[in-house]
Amino acid sequence: MTPQHTHPALPPGVTTLADHERHARGVLDEASWAYLFGAAADELTFARNIEAWRALELLPRVLKPLAGGHTRVELLGRTFAHPILVAPMAHQRLAHPDGEHATALAAAALGAGLVFSTQASAPLDEIAARFLPEPGRGPLWFQLYLQPDRGFTAELVQRAEAAGFEALVLTVDAPVQGARDSERRSGFRLPAGIGAVNLTGLRHPPPRTLAAGQSALFDDLLTHAPGWDDVAWLRSITRLPVLLKGVLHPDDARQAVACGASGLIVSNHGGRTLDTAITTANALPRIAQAVQGDLPLLVDGGIRRGTDVLKAIGLGASAVLVGRPVLHGLATAGATGVAHVLRLLRDELEIAMALTGCRTLAEATTVLAPTGR
């Protein structure tokens, strides 16, 4: 008989998302922790993301009819059980040997959507094959960084389509990597055997010869940075919906509507790119006002409780993406840990809905207390 791989039970005392974080901190080495969980510069945006959701207050209603309530949400023409998706995160095998396979297994079983990273440490077709057969699964989307080699980018998109991915999520807020001090301080390097396997064969343009006084950033690297024309090109080569991830400015949101984007993810990259950028809780209502319902909005950054999910929906999001807590759960107990994190968030969302008088997510706009005193 072939032995079956089993996932460990949760360690004693792991009850909340914060417990998962504390346990993960104890099992990962310093360099892996710095890469997976570090943020840019002084990590202010990272911390403020969390605090911004906490600062929003709920104004509950009582004695409302709640029987038959649900957390269902519609995204891109399909209805899903709840509005929680796993954010795209690179190199998950740093957190646990099962990496993206464990995350996909747990997300599919819990009905959560999965946004799979270009820089994943597992092949995209294997993850799709693991995720798609689950009958109660959420959406399966492929996160994309546009590469200077358009031919390779087109091939990658075709591979994602063939594997069964249902949308493309184009990250637009990282033409360069942020100044991640903790990562540099730790001396992080990818260990042997872990890499961006879906980018194998990618050809990088040779560095330019720079004249005296020229910038290696502005006069070389950023000459390949994508622009709005590249969004139009991407839409022209795929039959899949294209969402833009990393939009914080209302003018960019309006431009995205004009260029035919199918959705926006309000994101500051979890504070990993530009420190002191606006928090996503504060950016979301401004983006919602700018697009006026012309396309669905999702949001990530700092979601740590089911109440945060409800607040995000109340501010105009259709769904949320959760990143670091999923990796905390993965490091704690593999697929079991990820499933526990997702289950906690959904359970807490249902509790928050019941205690604020929301029978459905459509009523979430009524539960936020007015700001100011």
Ranges of H-type helices in the chain: 17-27, 30-37, 44-55, 99-109, 124-131, 150-163, 181-186, 228-237, 250-258, 280-291, 306-314, 324-356
pLDDT confidence of residue 177: 85
Contact 297, 317 (CB under 8 A): yes
Local confidence band at 373 (pLDDT 50, 70, 90 cut-offs): very low
pLDDT confidence of residue 327: 98
Q: Is the pLDDT of residue 278 over 90?
A: yes
Query: Measured on CA atoms in the order 249, 254, 260, 263, is the torsion positive or negative?
Result: positive
Local confidence band at 351 (pLDDT 50, 70, 90 cut-offs): very high
pLDDT confidence of residue 5: 38
In CATH, which superfamily holds the domain spanning 17-185+224-360?
Answer: Aldolase class I (3.20.20.70)
Share of the chain above pLDDT 90, in %: 88
Q: What is the pLDDT of residues 3-20, one digit of tens each?
A: 333 345 899 999 999 999
Burial class (CB in 10 A: 0-12, 13-18, 19+), 5: exposed
Q: Token pair of 115, please?
A: 């946004």
Mind giving me the DSSP string for 67-131?
TT----EEETTEEES-SEEEPP-S-GGGT-TTHHHHHHHHHHHTT-EEEE-TT-SS-HHHHHHHH
Cα(87)–Cα(182) distance, integer angstroms: 22
Q: What is the pLDDT of residues 53-92, one digit of tens each?
A: 999 999 999 999 999 999 999 999 999 999 999 999 999 9
Mean pLDDT of the chain: 94
For residue 60, which amino acid is it? P
Taking residues 220-248, what's their average pLDDT? 90
Cα(203)–Cα(226) distance, integer angstroms: 17
Query: Measured on CA atoms in the order 28, 34, 35, 38, is the torsion positive or negative?
Result: positive
**269 counts as catalytic:** yes
Q: Which of 217-231, 258-272, 294-308 has the lowest mean pLDDT?
A: 217-231
Q: What is the pLDDT of residues 126-180, one digit of tens each?
A: 999 999 999 999 999 999 999 889 999 999 999 999 999 999 999 999 888 889 9
Classified as helix, coil or strand, 141 is strand
pLDDT confidence of residue 2: 33
Q: Which of 96-105, 119-128, 211-220 has the lowest mean pLDDT?
A: 211-220
Taking residues 239-257, what's their average pLDDT? 98
Beta bridge partners of 73: 80
pLDDT confidence of residue 216: 67
Pick the more confident residue, 215 or 337.
Answer: 337
pLDDT confidence of residue 196: 97
Q: Is the pLDDT of residue 37 over 50?
A: yes
Q: Is the pLDDT of residue 215 over 90?
A: no
Local confidence band at 1 (pLDDT 50, 70, 90 cut-offs): very low
pLDDT confidence of residue 222: 63
Taking residues 189-211, what's their average pLDDT? 88
Q: Is the pLDDT of residue 213 over 90?
A: no
Closest CA to 117 of 176, 196, 190: 196
Catalytic residue among 20, 269, 328, 340: 269
Q: In the chain, where are the structural domains located?
A: 17-185+224-360
pLDDT confidence of residue 203: 78
Q: What is the pLDDT of residues 21-31, one digit of tens each?
A: 999 999 999 99
Q: Is the pLDDT of residue 314 over 80?
A: yes
